[in-house]
Structure 1
Amino acid sequence: MTGLQTPVKLPAQTELQTPTKPSRLWSTVFAIAVGAVVLVAGAGLKITWSDLPAMPGQIAHYLRLMFEAPNLEKLPRALFETWRSISMAWLGAIMCVVVSIPLGMLAANGVGPWWLRTALRGVFAVIRAIPEVIIALILLTVTGLTPFTGALALGIAGIGTQGKWVYETIESVQEGASEAVRAAGGNTAEVTRWALWPAAAPTLMSFALYRFEINIRTSAVLGLVGAGGIGSMLSNYTNFRQWDTVGMLLIVVVIATMLMDAVSGAIRRRIMEGAKVRDVARSS
């Protein structure tokens, strides 16, 4: 026979309080400010809105002039200039990587002193703020109208972005290997060499190839300001309104860029993923 159980007294049901509705004041103010900036910028451009309906027809007209019957007589020279642009992009990428990797590693937390990190990150930010075209125009006064000017401009302009990628990659590396090297008596240089670099090298090499892909596209733009390559040829024939040759040049640029992107992308995937192991099933 069991004893009588004392009834449990349930607490009085408290009144449910709904959470306070979040304020949308600042988001509304921000949206209004952005809209005002867009309206002011659009008003300052003095756009002739009445010309917009005729734009599709004009675009179609010039597309027919360029691609209806492309001029293939200049194709050999176009291929040669494309090769110069690719060489310019590759040389610029190498210069960028050689400079940005050591500087970017010194800018990472735990590697360089705070004053050096601050200075390097400031330099990277300033370089990122200057477009490649402006750097090329400055270098033109020193090096002249040569492809080396374009390669140098691409190398300098890439240091800002590449250096940022480097120190962010170094800072994202797991701490286990670094702590192991420090526990064994290693200094900062040894930690960088034997812990940080092996872990970050695949990602940094992938970023270097991605920089090369960016340089290929940018090299065509630098050619418009006289830095050489396919961009200079494209600018000249555009100025003389030889649209059939311009169409051929655009086709060459698009095909060359897509091919280099495919090759570079395959190499980057191989670096990041490694070689794929295939299982060969042997029938008994």
Structure 2
Amino acid sequence: MTVMLNAPVPGAPTAPLPGSRGLPPRRSRVAATAWAIAAALVVLAAAGTLQISWSDLPSVPGQVAHYLRLMFEAPNWEKLPRALFETWRSISMAWIGAMLCVAVSIPLGMLAANGVGPLWVRALLRGIFAVLRAVPEVIIALVLLTVTGLTPLTGALALAIAGIGTQGKWVYETVESAQEGAVEAVRAAGGTTADVTRWAIWPAVAPALLSFALYRFEINIRTSAVLGLVGAGGIGSMLSNYTNYRQWDTVGMLLIVVIAATMLMDAVSGAIRRRIMNGSR
């Protein structure tokens, strides 16, 4: 009598097939496909309402190359001294705007953080920050022009006011992400909210907030050139004037100065930020 060692025992459970053990059910891709189709329809609707002349697109690269050649083939360096002076005014405007923004946003941002300010203060400040973030710097500058006139002060105030919204949000998010150990230690020792802010929160978040302040200065340098286009002074006003007069060789020189100054300020500010965050390493 022959015994089959591998024969299944009647009534015993059948083992699952290899490769099918523990596999979760396949997720449906209907929702993802529907969202992708909806996004594509929105893009098509936006493109259709812009009244774009698609037949002109093939000529765009040639026109861009033509104007780049007019600007950079032989830049006019006669206006370089004035361009450097206006660039310095733009940098000064950006620096004053950054300092005013930081001086206001740090205390207000800390009050807007959970555990520091009361609920009604947090809600009010966060609402103000959201409104300021929604208004572009150019709009604020246009409103201030009626009060301060066509001066660099207009640009500095516009940069300061517009930056408070973003800077305040960075401040309270940084405070809320700080370690809780020092805060609990100060509270356990009987410290008030002011003591907690001074001796626990501020030492923990100061390097990050100083880094954000320098980053605000970098942003203001770029934005100051745009504000000059609406008459806020600086290199942007000079660039707007020569663009309107179609003096492309001078425009090319101004763009070179703007790019060089921006890259230089970014390098210096970035080195200082790395020193603040990483120490002397």
* Same fold, TM-score > 0.5, yes or no: yes
1:146 has 2:151 as partner: yes
- Report the equivalent of 1:78: 83
Give the total of aligned pairs. Answer: 266
1:234 has 2:213 as partner: no
Q: Over aligned residue pairs, what C-alpha RMSD do you find?
A: 1.2
- Report the equivalent of 1:53: 58
Equivalent residue runs for 1:3-42 within 5 Å = 12=13, 15=16, 16=21, 18-42=23-47
SS of corresponding position for 2:213? helix
Q: Which amino acid aligns with 1:136?
A: A
Q: Which amino acid aligns with 1:20?
A: P
Structure 1 counterpart of 2:266, from 241, 261, 278: 261
Q: Which amino acid aligns with 2:242?
A: Y
Q: Distance in 2 between matches of 1:18 and 1:167?
A: 44
Equivalent residue runs for 1:1-284 within 5 Å = 12=13, 15=16, 16=21, 18-276=23-281
- Residue 23 of structure 1, CA deviation: 2.2
Deviating above 6 A after TM superposition, structure 1's stretches of 4 or more consecutive aligned residues are none
Q: Which amino acid aligns with 1:21?
A: R
SS of corresponding position for 1:27? helix
- Residue 29 of structure 1, CA deviation: 2.0
SS of corresponding position for 1:224? helix
SS of corresponding position for 1:111? coil
What does the per-residue CA deviation read over 1:229-265, in whole Å, with 9 as the maximum and x for residues that have no partner? 0000000000000000000000000000000000000
TM-score, structure 1 normalization:
0.91
- Residue 35 of structure 1, CA deviation: 1.0
SS of corresponding position for 1:138? helix
TM-score, structure 2 normalization:
0.92
- Residue 20 of structure 1, CA deviation: 2.2
Q: Which amino acid aligns with 2:44?
A: L
Instruction: List alignment gaps of at least 5 residues for structure 2.
Output: 1-11
Q: Distance in 2 between matches of 1:86 and 1:26?
A: 50
* Matched-pair identity in %: 78
Q: Distance in 2 between matches of 1:138 and 1:186?
A: 44
Instruction: List alignment gaps of at least 5 residues for structure 1.
Output: 1-10, 277-284
SS of corresponding position for 2:51? coil
SS of corresponding position for 1:232? helix
Q: Distance in 2 between matches of 1:121 and 1:114?
A: 11
- Residue 118 of structure 1, CA deviation: 1.1
Q: Which amino acid aligns with 1:41?
A: A
SS of corresponding position for 2:230? coil
Q: Distance in 1 between matches of 2:30 and 2:45?
A: 22
